[in-house]
Chain A
């Protein structure tokens, strides 16, 4: 069966450090992978999309890597701030299709001053 796995344990990190989150998947052959941020009681917010032919993508303090051989994506938040505290969700679809976007369970990040 298809699985998207993210570290279920909360990541506690000190302000200013880099947070690194992992997303592993099985039985998917995604053409692209997405990352979302979700705050309690709110809908997910789209952050970044990376395609299979892109090794790395950056947006401000965020960096995503995508390794289709390892079936893994890494999500980095550099110079983390308390406002970055949230749950971060990895999401993908099979192949290049759209519509059936499936989410991982997410990793909670807590940034302390």
Chain B
């Protein structure tokens, strides 16, 4: 299995809702990432997990809460989002080694906050 699977593919939520994005991979990758991408912009790094521990938080607002329950799963919990948080949320995974490795991305969750 060489894929990163993200669910749901599309999500519409109100500003008072609580929702979660899910990401799964079975490639044995021990690094997992959340990126946010707005239209016509590059992906922006949000969080990095290494061996199930949060290693990088790029000053993301607390209304985004990541979780890594095990080496195959990564969640992003959403609460009290703003309309400007509407974007494509991408999950990626890679080997957790220095020296440069390519990332495998999922197809993303298209989030709309109303």
Q: Which of B12-20, B60-68, B71-79, B88-96 contacts A (4 or more CB under 8 A)?
A: B88-96
Is B48 touching A96 in the complex (CB atoms < 8 A)? no
Alpha-carbon gap, A41 to B90, bound state (A): 10
In B28-68, the 8 Å CB interface with A consists of 31, 33, 40-45, 48, 50, 55-56
> Is A73 close to B, CB under 8 A?
no
Chain B's closest residue to A102 (CB) is B45
* Contact (A101, B45) CB under 8 Å given A51-B100, A96-B98: yes
Contacts of A99 in B (CB 8 A): 31, 33, 48, 50, 55-56
* Contact (A98, B92) CB under 8 Å given A34-B100, A105-B41, A105-B42: no
Chain B's closest residue to A103 (CB) is B42
Interface bracket on A:
20 to 34
Alpha-carbon gap, A97 to B94, bound state (A): 13
Interface bracket on B:
20 to 34
- Of the residues A32, A41, A98, A101, contact of B108 by C-beta under 8 Å: A41
Contacts of A101 in B (CB 8 A): 33, 45, 103
In A73-95, the 8 Å CB interface with B consists of 89, 93
Contacts of A104 in B (CB 8 A): 42
Alpha-carbon gap, A100 to B33, bound state (A): 10
Chain B's closest residue to A47 (CB) is B102
Is A106 touching B104 in the complex (CB atoms < 8 A)? no
* Contact (A98, B101) CB under 8 Å given A41-B108, A42-B107, A43-B106: yes
Is A89 touching B42 in the complex (CB atoms < 8 A)? yes
> Is A49 close to B, CB under 8 A?
yes
- Of the residues A41, A43, A98, A106, contact of B94 by C-beta under 8 Å: A98
Is B43 touching A98 in the complex (CB atoms < 8 A)? no
* Contact (A96, B99) CB under 8 Å given A42-B107, A45-B105, A46-B104: yes
Is B108 touching A42 in the complex (CB atoms < 8 A)? yes
Contacts of A11 in B (CB 8 A): none
Binding site for A on B (CB under 8 A): 4, 31, 33, 40-45, 48, 50, 55-56, 88, 90, 92, 94, 96-108, 110
